Structure 1
Amino acid sequence: MMESPVVELCETEYGRVWDRFYDEFEFQPSMSSSKWPAIKEPTASATWSLAALDDDPEYERLDRLVEVVEQGLKSCMGPSGTLLALDWQHTSYRFAPSNIGGPGQPAWPLSPYPDGDYYIYLSENFRMGSFGHPWEESLCLFGQEFLDAASAEVEKLLGQPIRRSGRAVGTT
């Protein structure tokens, strides 16, 4: 187990993790809509538009969305699991979700909401997490266990997904 519940990735590990993310998710960062969704969304995934949050002046739905994603990840990771929190071209972290976010504990690093950059939560085996796209203004959740834990509440907040398993909803 880690000494601290949140640790910054060292330069070597940062490079290794990002190289693997680029490879496994075919990550192509771009502000151009012709290049979106920027990752190859996994088979067990759902992606929502964040447009429903545009009329949320008190941030109540945004706060609830963050809470739902954090709770879902925490429940899937169990008491000893760790996650990666990746911020494209910025400091990234490894953290123990069971030891953060509560009274007297450190806050979660980053957010599932992509506030100006790609924000990614990722399990150590890269099979579960979230991908926030700042320019598409979308949030992709992936990994069946995580979807089972969080997608119903996310749909209540954001509406129907725009994509499932990387395919636009309504297409075959």
Structure 2
Amino acid sequence: MIGDPVVVLPEVEYRRVWDRFYEDFSFRPSTNPSKWPAIEEPITSVTWSLAALDDDPGDERLDRLVVVVEQGLSACVGQSGTLFALDWQHTSYRFAPQDVGGPGQPAWPLSPYPDGDYFIYLAEDFRFGGFGHPWEGSLCLFGEGLLNVAATEVDKVLGPPIRRSGKAVGPA
């Protein structure tokens, strides 16, 4: 990526990306549990509850979750790719994962953990990413490549998933 590793999406692109996200994922923002999940979760997706982080006063599990998801996204995008980091109704970004988060580099924009609003990471072509739902308290990762590199480790941090391919998973 030429220039800054993190750039704010200009208004026209912001609207284009969000319009496509609403369309492609049937995004229905709501605090009402009867309307969850807020997206049509892709066939190749896994969704976990974030409740396991509630009893982690030292934030060790949260830190591990962030590392696992960031490493997975970085692996999927490659050495020269970029991702979108979308914060619903707030500033959103395009960034180069390989150029953020390290010593002397800017921090990753947003987090896999939805801190009060929907946080979304998306590949430029929308084929993989993550969707953090703040009111359901869930994280959905999608895309075969991302799931292949991250799902096992996310299971270790958050426990078994609550949905696969948008369908509820029964007790183990």
Instruction: Please indicate the TM-score interval, normalised by the length of the shorter structure.
Output: over 0.9
For the residue of structure 1 that corresponds to 2:48, the secondary structure is: strand
Aligned partner of 2:61 in structure 1 is 61
The answer to whether 1:135 aligns with 2:120 is no
CA distance in structure 2 between the aligned counterparts of 1:54 and 1:131, rounded to whole angstroms: 19
TM-fit CA distance, 1:170: 3.0
Q: C-alpha distance in 1, partners of 2:64/2:83? A: 20
- Letter of the 1:93 counterpart: Y
Tell me the amino acid that sits aligned with residue 15 of structure 2: G
| Cα separation, 1, equivalents of 2:143 and 2:82 | 15
Cα offset, 1:131, TM superposition = 0.1
Aligned to 1:139, the other structure's residue is in SS state: strand
Deviates more, 1:2-11 or 1:114-123: 2-11
Counterpart in 2 of 1:113? 113
Who is 1:12 aligned against?
Answer: 12
Aligned length in residues:
171
CA distances 1:6-64 after superposition (whole Å, capped 9, x unpaired)? 00001110000000000000000000000000000000000000000000001000000
How many Å apart are 1:66 and its aligned residue?
Answer: 0.3
Q: Alignment partner of 1:111: what SS?
A: coil
Calculate the TM-score normalised by the size of structure 1. Answer: 0.98
CA RMSD of aligned residues (A): 0.9
How far apart, CA to CA, are the structure 2 residues paired with 1:130 and 1:122?
7
Q: Secondary structure at the match of 1:23?
A: helix
Map 1:88-107 → 2, pairs under 5 A? 88-107=88-107
Structure 1: distance between partners of 2:34 and 2:81: 37
Partners of 2:111 and 2:37 lie apart in 1 by 19
Unaligned runs of 5+ in 2: none
> 1-side partners of 2:76 and 2:26: how far apart?
25
Secondary structure at the counterpart of residue 130 of structure 1: strand
**Corresponding residue SS for 2:89:** coil
- Structure 1 unaligned spans of 5+: none
Q: Secondary structure of 2:161's match?
A: coil
CA distance in 2, matches of 1:154, 1:162: 12
SS at match of 1:141: strand
Q: Which residue of 2 aligns with 1:125?
A: 125
Structure 1 residue 119 displacement after superposition: 0.1
Amino acid at match of 1:69: V
Match of 2:46 in 1: 46
- SS of the aligned residue for 1:122 comes to strand
CA deviation after TM superposition for structure 1 residue 135, in Å: 0.2
**Residue matched to 2:146:** 146
What SS does structure 2 have at the residue aligned with 1:105? coil
